[in-house]
Chains A and B, each alone.
Chain A
């Protein structure tokens, strides 16, 4: 199984500041034939289902604010929120869909400092 390790486990950032969450994969999720990274990011708020933010490592889902961005390739990825808003408080997960079983990171809890 591909293991995704997120860092940090929790993060407190001031409003308007940048937040960066990292996701490291135990093996590459870059498919060489199409040069795509099979990695997605989700935002999960209490009492709500997870919300897709980013797919193919860097493509923002429709309707997601442009303060959210994804980067990285191979085994190292990051989700960046350029200017933290109060509504961004949530747990964030990365997910690989390179192969089964599709796996998620352990989650990063983002709070306001």
Chain B
């Protein structure tokens, strides 16, 4: 059974760096064709894809946020970490990590964490 859970601060100040951790079970990021992504949803807005990391350490980022994002994995801990620099109130959102489906080109998300609400405020 695949599960994912996000953890991190619920409140960050403007200009600070956000670090979110996704801890997962039921799969391994050392296995071929596995990927974990991050998606967020600002209040009242649509879903927004942020980043994706694959088993072979291939990384993909949203171009609009690429300069601020870093995604890494710790295979031994079954964790994926997303850092976002220079946080702004517009980055207030629920942040989700999600398992990328298996299969060539299958870059949709079949399992999601419950999400963590991050508020950016001074």
Interface residues, chain A, with chain B CB atoms under 8 Å away: 1, 31, 34, 36, 38, 40, 42, 44, 48-52, 55, 61, 93, 95, 97, 100-107
Contact = CB atoms under 8 A, between A and B. Distances in A.
Contacts of B47: 42, 44, 50, 93, 95, 104, 107
B66 to A, nearest CB: 9
Contacts, number: 62
B10 to A, nearest CB: 16
Contacts of A38: 105, 107
A104 B48 contact: yes
A49 B112 contact: yes
A34 B98 CA distance: 26
A55 B106 contact: yes
Contact of B101 (A55, A102, A103): A55
B107 A102 contact: yes
Across the A-B interface, the 7 shortest Cβ-Cβ residue pairs: A49-B112, A97-B107, A40-B108, A104-B47, A102-B49, A101-B62, A106-B46
A100 B49 CA distance: 9
Given A50-B109, A52-B110, A102-B37, 11 more contacts: A40-B108, A40-B109, A52-B108, A55-B106, A93-B46, A93-B47, A100-B61, A101-B62, A102-B49, A104-B47, A107-B47
A61 B46 contact: no
A101 B64 CA distance: 9
Contact of B46 (A31, A51, A101, A104): A104
Interface of B: 37, 39, 46-49, 52, 60-64, 96, 98, 101, 105-110, 112-115
A59 to B, nearest CB: 10
B110 A49 contact: no
A97 B105 contact: yes
B49 A103 contact: yes
A52 B102 CA distance: 14
Contacts of A95: 47, 49, 108
Contacts of B37: 102
A61 B98 CA distance: 16
A97 B106 contact: yes
